[in-house]
Amino acid sequence: MKHPRPLWPLPLDRQTWVSLGVKLRTSNWGQITLAMLIGAGAALFAVLFRWLIASFTWIFTGHPDYAAVPGAGNPNLPWLGAWFVVLAPVVAGLLYGPLVQAFAREARGHGVPEVMYAVSQQGGRIRPQVAVVKALASALCIGGGGSVGREGPIVQIGSALGSTLGRVVHASESRLRVLVACGAAAGISATFNAPLAGVFFALELILLDFTANAFGLVVIASVTSSVIGRAILGNAPFLSLPAFSVTSPVEYLLYAVLGVVAGAVGVGFSKVLYAVEDLCDHLWRGPEWLRPAVGGIALGLLLLVLPQMYGVGYPVIDQAVQGNYAIGFLIVLVVGKMVATSLTIGIGGSGGVFAPSLFIGAALGSAFGLVAGQLMPGQVSPIGAYGLIGMGAVFAGAARAPITAVLMMFELTGEYSIILPLMAAIVLATTISHALSPDTIYTLKLRRRGIDLEAPATPSRARVRLATVMRPLPAGVDARTPLPKAADQLSHTPYGVLPVTNVDGSFLGILTARAVAEALAAGEDTTRKAAIMTEFPATVTDADTVEEAIRALNLSGCGGIPVFGSSGASVGSPVGWVTYRDALRTVSVDAPPAAPTTITGPAG
C-alpha cells in the first residue's frame, strides 16, 4: 500500500534536529536567526509584561496608573478611601513572595546584577523559569504599589530567553553570553522604544567586553524587538516635551553644576538602597516568602503619605518636567523615591532601579531649573531641559553607563537640541560617581556577596585559546557502522569517544563507548548502525578558551569533544579535538600546555 506523502517537508528525526542545531549555532545565518528569534521573543514578553503591569494595577487600584491620580480612592473599594494603598502591597506580597521563594529566588530584587553575574561567572546560563517568575512577580509588585521600574525585570526576562535558546542549540559559552546580551538589549528596546539605548545597555553593562560580531548580533536582536514593539505598542516617545535650546553660553556652567550634583545623588541613591536593604535584613526574622507581605505594611503607609510613589511613576515624571511642582515638593519627591524604591527592594520586592533613577533625576533637575530660573530670570532654558538632563545624569551617576544614558535620553524624548549639555552633564556625573564610589548600583550588590566582576575569575592559563591547544580531529566512525564494530573501534581510544561522520564525510556528532555498551547490554539489534547512538556534545570553537572547554567537557560527560571553526571557510565545521588531558595540562601551573599532536589513527 502506498503511503501518503507527509505534509511536513523535513523528517522530524534526531539527525535533522542535530543538524539544524549545528547550523544555528555555527553558521552566520544561524546566529542571525537566533538573534532575530530572541528579539522577537523578548518583544512579545515585553508586551505581555506591560499588559500584566497594567492589569494588576487596575485590579489593585481601579485606575490605569495610580500615580496619575494620587490620593484618589479605589472605585472598587470606596469604603476604604485612600487607605486601600496600605492593603495593596500586602496582598501583592502574599502572591509574589511564595512564587519567588518556591520557583526562582534570583527573580527577587532588581535583576540586572543577576544577569551580569550569569554572564561573567556562569557562562551565560540562566534558568528558563526565571523569565516567567520574574514577569509575574515584578508585575504583581509594581501593580501592588512597589516603587520600582520595569527595565530590570525585562532585562532579566530577555536574558533568560536568550540563555535558554542558546542552550537548546548547545551554543558555546562565548556565544551564549552574546545571546544573553541580545535578550537584554531586545528587552530594553521593546520596553522603552529605544533600540540604540538597548544595544549599548547590553554592551556597557552586560557584556562589558565585546567584538564586532557580538555588536552585530545585539543590534539585530534590538532592531527586531523594536520593530515588533512599535507595531504593537506604537511609536510615541516616552516623554512629550516642547522644543528647547541653550539660551546662553553661561547655561553650560549651570548644566555642569547639575551634572556634578546629579552624579553625587546617583551614588547616594545606591548607598540608600543597600542601607535600607541591610536594615530590612537585620529586622526580619521570619520566613522569606512572608517578608514582602509584612514589609508591604510599611510600604503602604509610605504610599498613604506620598501616593506619587505608587508604581513606576511615569505620570509624576511628566508633571515634574512640565514644571507643575514647587521646589520643596520636588525635593520631597527625590527623597521619597529613594526611600520607597529602597524599601520595595529591601522587603523582597521585584523590580528595576533604572526608572526610579529617572524619576529622581527628573525631580532633581526640575528643582535645579526652578532655582536657576529664580536666580537668573529670563536667561535659562525651560524647566523641562533641566529635568531631562537630570534624568540622564542621575542614571549615569548610579549605573556609570554614560553612552547608554545619552542615547536613552535622546530616544526617550526625541529631543536633540539639548544633546551637548546632556553629554557634558552625564560625563561629569560619571566622573563624580567614579570619585565617590568604586561600585555602581548594580556591581555593589555583587560585591556585597564577595563577587568582583573586574577580578579575573580564572588563572590566565585557563584563558588560552583552543586554537593553540587542540589536536587534529581523530579518525571517525562511519554512521553506517554496525554497533559491534563501532564498539571495537571505541575500545582502542583512550577516552572512549569518537566523532561520527555521514556518508559524505561531514560531521554528525559523537559516539561514546558508554552509550554503545549500554545499547548492546540491553539487547539492541547488532545490525543497528552507529548513527542511532550518535550524540551532540556541548560545543566549543577554536576562539573559545580552555576554561570554556573544561565546562563543555563537564557538561558532555565525555573525555574529548570536537572543536569547531570560528572564522573563514571553517565556520561550523570541526577543525580539531580537545580532551580533558589537554585542557588540564594547559591550566596546570607545573606543566606547560600540551603541544598539538599529529594523530594517524583513532584517539581520544
pLDDT, tens digit (0-9, with 9 covering 90-100), for 223-243 = 999 999 888 888 776 666 656
Q: ∠ at Cα 67 (66, 69), nearest 5°?
A: 65
Question: Quick one: 214 and 274 in the same domain?
Answer: no
Check residue 594 and give its pLDDT: 42
Question: Quick one: 36 and 185 in the same domain?
Answer: yes
Nearest 5°: phi and psi at 407?
A: -65, -40
Question: Quick one: 314 and 394 in the same domain?
Answer: yes
Helix (H, G, I), strand (E, B) or coil at 586: helix
Percent pLDDT > 90 in the chain is 32
Check residue 526 and give its pLDDT: 66
Q: Which of left, alpha, beta for 594 (phi over 0: left; psi -120 to 50: alpha)?
A: beta
Check residue 15 and give its pLDDT: 56
Q: Which of the two residues, 21 and 135, has the higher pLDDT score?
A: 135
506-535 average pLDDT score: 77
Q: Report how far residue 185's alpha carbon sits from residue 200's, in angstroms, rounded to the nearest whole number.
A: 8
Check residue 19 and give its pLDDT: 62
Quote the domain boundaries for residue 417. 251-289+305-447
474-501 average pLDDT score: 82
Q: Report how far residue 466's alpha carbon sits from residue 570's, in angstroms, rounded to the nearest whole number.
A: 15
pLDDT at 590 over 50: no
Question: Quick one: 100 and 189 in the same domain?
Answer: yes
What is the average pLDDT score of the chain? 83
Q: Which of the two residues, 587 and 553, has the higher pLDDT score?
A: 553
Check residue 1 and give its pLDDT: 43
Question: Quick one: 216 and 319 in the same domain?
Answer: no
pLDDT at 21 over 70: no
Question: Model confidence at 603, in pLDDT bands (50, 70, 90)?
Answer: very low
Check residue 395 and give its pLDDT: 93
| Three cell numbers, residue 184 | 537584554
Cβ density class 54-75: b for 16+ within 10 Å, e for less = eebbebbbbbebbbbebeebbe
Helix (H, G, I), strand (E, B) or coil at 453: coil
Indicate the range of 59-63, 82-86, 203-207, 238-242 predicted with least confidence.
Answer: 238-242
Question: Quick one: 492 and 406 in the same domain?
Answer: no
Residues facing residue 507 across a β-bridge: 501
Check residue 589 and give its pLDDT: 45
Please compute, for residue 217, the number of CA atoms within 13 A of its CA located in the half-sphere on the CB side. 29
| Three cell numbers, residue 473 | 580531529
- Residue 600 burial class via C-beta count within 10 angstroms: exposed 0-12, middle 13-18, buried 19 and up: exposed
> Would you say residue 457 lies in a domain?
no
Question: Quick one: 438 and 492 in the same domain?
Answer: no
Spatial CB neighbours of 73, under 8 Å, sequence gap ≥ 6: 80, 81, 82, 84
> Would you say residue 452 lies in a domain?
no
Q: Report the 10 Å Cβ neighbour count for 97.
A: 28
211-230 average pLDDT score: 88
Q: Report how far residue 346's alpha carbon sits from residue 292's, in angstroms, rounded to the nearest whole number.
A: 9
Q: Which of the two residues, 26 and 490, has the higher pLDDT score?
A: 490
Provide the sign of the torsion angle of the four alpha carbons 136, 137, 142, 144, taken in this order. positive
Question: Quick one: 204 and 349 in the same domain?
Answer: no
Q: Are 127 and 180 in contact (CB under 8 A)?
A: no
Report the predicted TM-score, pTM, of the whole model to 2 decimal places. Answer: 0.74
416-465 residue pLDDT tens: 777 888 899 999 999 999 999 888 898 888 887 777 766 554 445 566 77
> Would you say residue 283 lies in a domain?
yes
> Would you say residue 9 lies in a domain?
no
pLDDT at 494 over 80: no
Nearest 5°: phi and psi at 171?
A: -70, 150
pLDDT at 180 over 80: yes
Question: Quick one: 518 and 415 in the same domain?
Answer: no
pLDDT at 293 over 80: yes
CATH number for the domain harbouring residue 374:
1.10.3080.10
pLDDT at 593 over 50: no
Spatial CB neighbours of 57, under 8 Å, sequence gap ≥ 6: 63, 64, 65, 66, 142, 143, 311
pLDDT at 217 over 60: yes
Check residue 242 and give its pLDDT: 59
> Would you say residue 239 lies in a domain?
no
> Would you say residue 477 lies in a domain?
yes
Helix (H, G, I), strand (E, B) or coil at 340: helix
Q: Which of the two residues, 374 and 504, has the higher pLDDT score?
A: 374
Question: Quick one: 408 and 524 in the same domain?
Answer: no
| Three cell numbers, residue 368 | 535645579
Residue 281 CA, distance from chain mean position: 26
> Would you say residue 201 lies in a domain?
yes
DSSP per residue, 29-79: HHHHHHHHHHHHHHHHHHHHHHHHHHHHHHHHHSSS-GGGSTTPPPTTSGG
Question: Quick one: 220 and 96 in the same domain?
Answer: yes
Question: Model confidence at 572, in pLDDT bands (50, 70, 90)?
Answer: low
The domain tally of the chain equals 3
Question: Model confidence at 17, in pLDDT bands (50, 70, 90)?
Answer: low
| Three cell numbers, residue 475 | 579518525
Q: Report how far residue 534's alpha carbon sits from residue 15's, in angstroms, rounded to the nearest whole number.
A: 9
Spatial CB neighbours of 250, under 8 Å, sequence gap ≥ 6: 376, 379
Question: Quick one: 428 and 504 in the same domain?
Answer: no
Nearest Cα residue to 341 out of 355, 331, 329: 355
pLDDT at 10 over 50: no
Q: Which of the two residues, 443 and 246, has the higher pLDDT score?
A: 443
Q: Terminus-to-terminus CA distance in the chain, angstroms? A: 47
| Three cell numbers, residue 150 | 520595569
Check residue 497 and give its pLDDT: 84
> Would you say residue 438 lies in a domain?
yes
Q: ∠ at Cα 406 (403, 412), nearest 5°?
A: 130
pLDDT at 398 over 90: yes
**What are the Cα distances from residue 422, in Å, to 155, 199, 256, 402, 524?**
25, 20, 9, 10, 71
Q: For the range 227-232, what are the long-range contacts, defined as Cβ-Cβ under 8 Å and sequence gap of 24 or more?
A: 227/43, 228/39, 228/40, 228/43, 228/44, 228/190, 229/43, 229/46, 229/47, 229/189, 229/190, 229/191, 229/193, 230/193, 232/43, 232/47
CATH number for the domain harbouring residue 491:
3.10.580.10
pLDDT at 103 over 60: yes
Cβ density class 252-270: b for 16+ within 10 Å, e for less = eebbeebbbbbbbbbbbbb
pLDDT at 13 over 60: no
576-589 residue pLDDT tens: 888 877 777 776 64
Residues facing residue 578 across a β-bridge: 561
Helix (H, G, I), strand (E, B) or coil at 117: helix
Helix (H, G, I), strand (E, B) or coil at 560: strand
Q: ∠ at Cα 207 (389, 229), nearest 5°?
A: 65
Q: Report how far residue 202's alpha carbon sits from residue 219's, in angstroms, rounded to the nearest whole number.
A: 10
